[in-house]
Copies of this chain bind each other. A is one copy, B any other.
Amino acid sequence: MRRSTRKEQDPDLGILAVQLSARVQREIFARAAERGFDDARPRHGAVLAYLDPEGTRPGELARLAGRNKQTMGAILDELERLGYVRRTPDPADRRAKLIVPTDRGLRFMEVTDGIVDQIERTLADALGSAPYREFRTALGRSAQSLPAGGHDTEA
């Protein structure tokens, strides 16, 4: 059997993980685009998935997203230019910066959190709610079993 046919019929873990990640992100950003957020891109999710309404330190966002600080800085520049976040001095430490969502950023966070909930309900219906819960637990345990790193693995 051709390798391409074997990989399509019995995809390995690398292929399955990329497929799930790409398809979930595609759904999130396609549905967000229909809600008026057509300038947001999956790479922006590294920030917007974790950002606190009250603001988050850039270094903390880099740690949470497993991206290096240079990559995080570039994503933050884009999001600031697109009007999703702004950089403000941290009231707790005037020398430190805090990334704060704009009203548009806050709406995006609410909308996409809702979209992810919808996708999870879709998968729970497809797999069954108990099997889906087990799948989600195994997904987290598998990710935790591998090094997090601070690289932009999409680079």
Contact = CB atoms under 8 A, between A and B. Distances in A.
A15 to B, nearest CB: 6
A119 B140 contact: no
A141 B27 CA distance: 16
B151 A4 contact: no
Contact of A145 (B113, B126, B136, B142): B126
| A interface SS class | helix
Interface string A128-142: 000110111011111
B22 A153 contact: yes
Most B CB contacts (10 A, CB to CB) among A21, A52, A66, A112 go to A21
Given A14-B116, A52-B3, A140-B11, A122 B135 contact: no
